Amino acid sequence: MGNSFSPRFRGAESLDAVVSATIEGDIDCLVVAAHSPEILSQCARDYLRSLRGRGAQVEFHQKGGVEAVVHTTNRLLADIPVEKLTVSKSADGLRLLVIDNAESLPVTELQAAQRVARALKGSVFRVVLFWRMPNDGLVPDESHQFLRGAVVWGLDLVAPSVPEVPAISFERVVGKPTPISTEPTAGSRPEPSVESVLEKADVLAELAAERARERGFDATDRSWLQRWRPFITAVILLVFLVGGTWIFQSQLTVDDRPRVFDCGAYADEATLNVVRERLGRGVPTRVLREQNKWRLQVGPFESLEAADRHLSQIWSVGPCRVTPMVVEEQKKRGGLL
């Protein structure tokens, strides 16, 4: 049990200040607390009436757990797209999620509402909790921790007495410390923490998923393309990798050296001329002199593809080899004819 928390606002006379802070966005989650149910009820009516007069819309939350908080929030913000929730301004009219008898709700449910308000800070969304305090001021430890971290408007709460502790000077021991300024410089804006960015993304995702379920489909049930996109991407990358490797290796193995077909050696020149006539004048040939014989070669062709275009004519000559040979630099073994 505990009661040591300090309200930011005190008394019913703070109504105008609380309303102004709510409109300006200084408060995203407000706890209105009082011992007296009459005082709490009257100030609650005055507070809501004042904000309604400025165009605020009100939605009362009923106990139902964390999911109920998301549902109530979506019902209140139904006309604002999820992607525009964080950029909506108070000029569009505030949206108040009101939790009456907040002291009777589980702290986890209250924390869920506070989490949504914190994630949507700067928007039109506000959370207001009306809390009936026990007469002795003692609340359970979990509720006490929640109140200590919340903005509280105490209507008739008595400020806790804090025993005066004499100040202890450490200057004589360690010297006067150098003051370190933690105030932001003029014109600077505090950078959002990683936790706040992730929390905002999580809350928006929860709101979007709940809205989708209300419309009859699950926002987490992505289209087949989205579900299979990683697999399709991996297959495409594999195809490109294999194809690129094959092309690269093909380029490495391309042999542009000229080719010739060996069509045998002939003892007399007359027979050689008959074979050359059968090949046709469009087919290049050359004759190598080997001692007392003439060796006929068809070619040279610039490449294997060029040689393939004359295969039908080459194979019509019986002695010719089936596959061409690469032309190497030859030593002088005889003259070319």
**Domain spans of the chain?**
9-154, 259-326
Class of domain 259-326: alpha beta
Token output for 89: 């301004």
Per-residue confidence in pLDDT tens, the chain, 337 aa: 655 567 889 999 999 999 999 998 888 899 999 999 999 999 999 999 999 999 999 999 988 888 888 888 888 888 888 777 776 665 568 999 999 999 999 999 999 898 888 888 888 899 999 999 888 878 888 888 888 888 999 998 755 443 444 444 434 434 444 444 444 444 444 545 545 555 566 667 777 776 667 665 444 444 555 566 677 888 888 887 887 777 666 555 556 677 777 878 888 888 878 888 877 777 888 888 888 888 888 877 777 777 777 777 777 766 676 566 676 654 444 444 5
Please state, in angstroms and rounded to a whole number, the distance separating the CA atoms of residues 93 and 59.
13
CB 314 within 8 A of CB 270: no
Nearest one of 87, 79, 98 to 22, comparing CA atoms: 98
User: The tokens 């700067």 sit on which residue?
Assistant: 122
Kindly report each contact of residues 73-79 with a partner whose C-beta sits within 8 Å and lies 24 or more positions away, as own/partner. Answer: 73/97, 73/116, 73/125, 73/207, 74/207, 74/210, 74/211, 74/214, 76/125, 77/125, 77/207
As a whole number of angstroms, the distance between CA 146 and CA 144 comes to 5
**pLDDT for residue 118:** 86
For 317, counting Cβ atoms within 10 Å of its Cβ (0-12 exposed, 13-18 middle, 19+ buried), the class is middle
CATH 3.40.50.300 corresponds to the domain 9-154: yes
What pTM value is reported for the model? Answer: 0.52
Strands 325-326 vs 259-266: parallel, antiparallel or unpaired: antiparallel
If DSSP codes are grouped into helix, strand and coil, which group holds residue 109? Answer: helix
3-state helix, strand, coil in the chain (%, to 5): 45, 15, 40
